[in-house]
Each structure stands twice: as C-alpha cells, then as structure tokens.
Amino acid sequence: MKRWLKGLLGVLALLLMLTGCANPADKKKEAESSASSSDKPYAGQTLNVVATSDKYTKLFDRFTEQTGAKVEFLSMSSGEVISRTKAEGQPMADLWFGGGLDAFLSADQDGLLEHYVSPNAKDVDAAYKDKDGAWIAKGITVAGFLVNNDVLKEKGLDVPKTWDDLAKPEYKGEIIMSNPAISGTNYAVVKGLLDAKGEKDGWKYLEALNQNIDFYSKRGKDPQEKTVQGEFAIGIIPVDNSAFKVAKDNNLTVVYPDAIPWVPEGVAIFKGSEHTDIAKAFEDFMLTKDAQKIIADVDGKDTAQIVVPNVEGLSLGLPKDKLIKEDLSTFGSQRSDILDHFKQIAQDKAEE
C-alpha cells in the first residue's frame, strides 16, 4: 500500500477514536439544548399585549417559560384600544387581554378581531365565549354591595340583602354607584337587572333606585373607596377578594344580593397582527388549569368566577345559582339605548 494512503487511513482512524471519546457531558448538554429549543417554539419572538392592567406578569412569565415568547405590555382602556386601532388602520398589538365585553363586541362588528376557537375552549360554557371565536373570557366580574356597618348602625339601618332593599326610602342618599357610561361593571349591573326583571319592571326598579342615589361617580373605584371612608353607607361594587380584605380591615360587610349581575372579561386576537400564531398559543395556554389558577389568584376570584370547569379558585362564598341569566347577544347592541334611557332617569346626577 502506498505511503500516502496509509497516512490518510491513520488520520481517519484517529478522528474516529477522538469522536468516540468525546465528553458525555457535552453530548448531554447538546441533546438538552436541542430538546429545549423544540419545546419552546417561539423562543426569540415577542407577543405584544394591550391590557387594562400590567398586574398579570406572573401569568405571562409562565407563558414565556413554556413557549419562549417574550411578552411586552401596553396598558390602555378599551375605548382607547378601539379608537386608536381604527385611526391607525392596523393592529396595535397581537393580543387584547381584559376589558369590558361591549368593547369586544364593538370591535368584532368593525372587523378588528381574528376569529379563533381554541381546542381548550370546548368545555367552556357558551355564555363565556363567542361561538365564532371572536372573544373568550379569562374569567367573569360579578357585582354586589359593600356596606359600612358603622354608618348603618349610627343611622339605625339594616344591612341590605336584596336589590329591592336598596330601593327602600330609608336608604335615600346612602348609596353610591359609578356612572354606567364610564364603569363597565355598573353598565353590567344595569343590563343585568333589566334582563332579570324584564324591560318594563327593570326600568321601573331603576327609577326607584335612582331616587336613593344622589350622584353617580366618575371612577369605577369610587364606590368602594367612599364607602370605606364612611361617606356612604352602601357602595355597588365589583366583588373580588380585595373587597373582602378591605371589608375585614374596616368593619364592612360584602353582600352578594339575590340576583348577581356579571360580565365576561374578554380576551381576543387582533386581526392581521404580526404574531397571530403566538396569540393563539396564548389562548390555548390561558385555558389550561395552571393558567386559570394563576388568574384566580391575581384577580382574587371565587371558584364560580372561573370559566374552565373543575378549577378551584378562592372560597369567597359566591352562590353560582344566583348569577343572573343574562342576554349577552344584546349586551353591545343595546348599550347606547340603555345608557340614553338611564341618563334620562338620572337627569343631572350623572357627572359628565
């Protein structure tokens, strides 16, 4: 055999020997790196989210852990989201997380939302999702009463238990409620009571309730804050764990009334967004039990406020059977008419 051929064979043999002697730890790291990359399909990409609050960092951090997608937030009200999207003619983010349902319904009518039905949504009640996939709820907001026990005791009044109680003459001037044109929760209260009592009796009731309310506040937080401060005996509020905490600390009582208004907290994907695929993956993730537990913890939700079955939230005593059977199909379409009628009833009480 020629000398050059023997040399070549020798080099090849040496290379094979070195390859076989490679560090097993290095091989393991290489394999783990490859597996990790395949387990995080969106590594190096970004999900842009517009939300009413940035308090959901824990939820989105968990999504990043599982998918590799970085999440960036932009805090904005629902009204601003719609007006800016229309004005710019393009989606301002990939995902819209949280906000009043009427805004989502309006956005869908304007063709701003991607329709996506997550496979994880199959067990979610039809009341908590759009049948065509325009939106789905991350949970529901419920309304009730916050009562200042000291004020009631001072004035010799009983703790109200029902909506009809609030319309009794003895509570005149003792109740605070946010303007439903500003507060999504209190619009849900008005719409829910109309659904529960029927249009004729519902408006008759709201006229009676109006006699006991001196003014409608501009901020959604005012009823809770001003009831805590003793400026009012009763506040109509969104009920969650924070309400129970403030009640415990200030000798207040949280009341779930006989009929409980509620509203889904929407989540949707913007049509034509840059990372629609990641937004869809997030909806899938959001509907897992792990994610729902995080949402329940962050939002302070009772088990009955969680949209995915068989997920335990907090134990706040919310009676699910008292949730009003609401007609969400008209939640958005009737909003203008309802608010116009309510304004006529409230006259100059509603602060513009």
Tell me the per-residue pLDDT of 81-98, one tens digit each, with 9 for 90 and over: 877 888 888 888 999 999
Q: Would the pTM of this model clear 0.75, i.e. be above it?
A: yes
Q: Are 17 and 252 in contact (CB under 8 A)?
A: no
Query: What is the dihedral sign for C-alpha 137, 139, 140, 146?
Result: negative
Q: Alpha-carbon distance 106 to 113, whole Å?
A: 10
DSSP state of 46: E
* 258 vs 14, residue with greater confidence: 258
Q: Which of left, alpha, beta for 300 (phi over 0: left; psi -120 to 50: alpha)?
A: left
What is the mean pLDDT of the segment spanning 115-141? 96
pLDDT digits (tens, 9 = 90+) for 146-195: 999 999 999 999 999 999 999 999 999 999 999 998 888 999 999 999 99
What's the pLDDT at 351? 47
* 17 vs 268, residue with greater confidence: 268
Instruction: Please name the helix (run of DSSP H) or strand (run of DSSP E) that holds residue 295, with its range, or none.
Output: helix 289-299
What is the mean pLDDT of the segment spanning 296-318? 96
Residues with Cβ within 8 Å of residue 210, at least 6 apart in sequence: 345, 346, 349
What's the pLDDT at 23? 56
* 25 vs 102, residue with greater confidence: 102
Q: Alpha-carbon distance 257 to 164, whole Å?
A: 10
Q: Where are any strands of DSSP class E within 165-274?
A: 175-178, 213-217, 234-238, 252-255, 262-270
What is the mean pLDDT of the segment spanning 68-80? 86
The model's confidence at residue 72, banded by pLDDT at 50, 70 and 90, is: very high
* 15 vs 283, residue with greater confidence: 283
pLDDT digits (tens, 9 = 90+) for 96-110: 999 889 889 989 998
The model's confidence at residue 124, banded by pLDDT at 50, 70 and 90, is: very high
Is the pLDDT reported for residue 38 higher than 70?
no
pLDDT digits (tens, 9 = 90+) for 7-16: 545 544 544 4
Q: Alpha-carbon distance 230 to 121, whole Å?
A: 44
Whole-angstrom CA distances from 55 to 24, 51, 60, 255 are: 44, 10, 10, 26
Helix (H, G, I), strand (E, B) or coil at 237: strand
> Could you tell me how far CA 129 lies from the centroid of its own chain?
12
Q: Which of left, alpha, beta for 341 (phi over 0: left; psi -120 to 50: alpha)?
A: alpha
Is the pLDDT reported for residue 35 higher than 50?
no
What's the pLDDT at 64? 97
Q: Where are any strands of DSSP class E within 94-168?
A: 95-97, 113-114, 136-148
Is the pLDDT reported for residue 334 higher than 80?
yes
Q: Which of left, alpha, beta for 256 (phi over 0: left; psi -120 to 50: alpha)?
A: beta
Is the pLDDT reported for residue 24 higher than 90?
no
